[in-house]
C-alpha cells in the first residue's frame, strides 16, 4: 500500500527526529559545557535529574497556561471541558496539553530510572535528554497547527530520547 503525501511527511519528520536524537545523544555529552556536581550517591543523582526535569515540566505548565488563557477569553470554553468539548479555538491547545502531559510523564520516569542506574560521570546524559525534550516540544508546538507532517519531528525528538533512556536504564538494571 503506497503512502500518501502526509504519511511520507510524517515518516520524514520521524526520521529527522531520530537523526537529531542520535546526534544529540552522541555529541551532547561530549560538548556539555557545565561541570557536573559530585553525584556519588543515589540521592544526589535523583536530585540532579529532578532539577533538570524542571525544564521538562515547565513545558507542561506553559501548555496548561495557554489553554487556561484561551479558555478565559472564549465564551464556549470558559465552563471547562467537563461541560462541553473544546471549541475549535482551543482544540489544538488542548491536544498539545494532553500530548505534553503524556511525554513529560514518560520522560520524568525515564530520567529518574536512568539516574538510579548511571554512574556519576554518565549523568551528563540527563541534561542532554532534557535539551532534546525541550527542542522537541518547541518543534511540536510550532508544527502542530500545520498537520501531522509538521509536528512529527517535534514528536520524535521528544519521544525517541525517552525510549532510549528507558532502554538504557533497563540494560543497566539487568546487567
How many domains in the chain? Answer: 1
The predicted structure's pLDDT at residue 37? 85
| Structural domain that includes position 164 | 5-32+40-174
Please give the Cα distance from 32 to 150 (Å, whole number): 29
Confidence grade of residue 1 (pLDDT, cut at 50, 70, 90): confident
The predicted structure's pLDDT at residue 36? 85
pTM for the whole thing? 0.94
User: Is 147's pLDDT higher than 90?
Assistant: yes
Confidence grade of residue 84 (pLDDT, cut at 50, 70, 90): confident
* CATH code: domain of residue 59: 1.20.120.550
Please classify residue 82 by burial: count the beta carbons closer than 10 Å to its beta carbon, then call 0-12 exposed, 13-18 middle and 19+ buried. Answer: exposed
Please give the Cα distance from 140 to 104 (Å, whole number): 13
Amino acid at each position: 500500500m503506497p503512502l500518501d503525501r502526509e504519511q511520507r511527511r510524517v515518516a520524514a519528520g520521524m526520521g529527522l527526529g531520530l537523526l537529531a536524537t542520535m546526534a544529540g545523544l552522541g555529541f551532547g555529552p561530549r560538548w556539555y559545557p557545565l561541570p557536573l556536581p559530585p553525584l556519588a550517591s543515589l540521592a544526589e543523582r535523583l536530585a540532579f535529574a529532578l532539577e533538570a526535569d524542571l525544564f521538562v515540566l515547565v513545558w507542561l505548565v506553559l501548555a496548561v497556561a495557554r489553554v487556561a488563557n484561551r479558555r478565559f477569553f472564549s465564551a464556549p470554553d470558559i465552563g471547562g471541558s467537563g461541560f462541553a468539548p473544546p471549541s475549535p479555538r482551543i482544540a489544538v491547545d488542548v491536544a498539545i496539553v494532553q500530548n505534553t502531559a503524556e511525554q513529560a510523564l514518560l520522560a520524568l520516569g525515564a530520567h529518574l530510572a536512568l539516574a538510579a542506574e548511571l554512574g556519576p560521570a554518565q549523568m551528563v546524559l540527563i541534561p542532554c535528554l532534557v535539551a532534546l525534550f525541550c527542542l522537541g516540544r518547541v518543534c511540536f508546538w510550532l508544527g502542530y497547527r500545520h498537520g501531522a507532517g509538521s509536528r512529527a519531528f517535534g514528536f520524535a525528538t521528544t519521544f525517541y530520547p525517552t525510549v532510549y533512556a528507558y532502554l538504557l536504564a533497563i540494560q543497566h538494571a539487568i546487567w
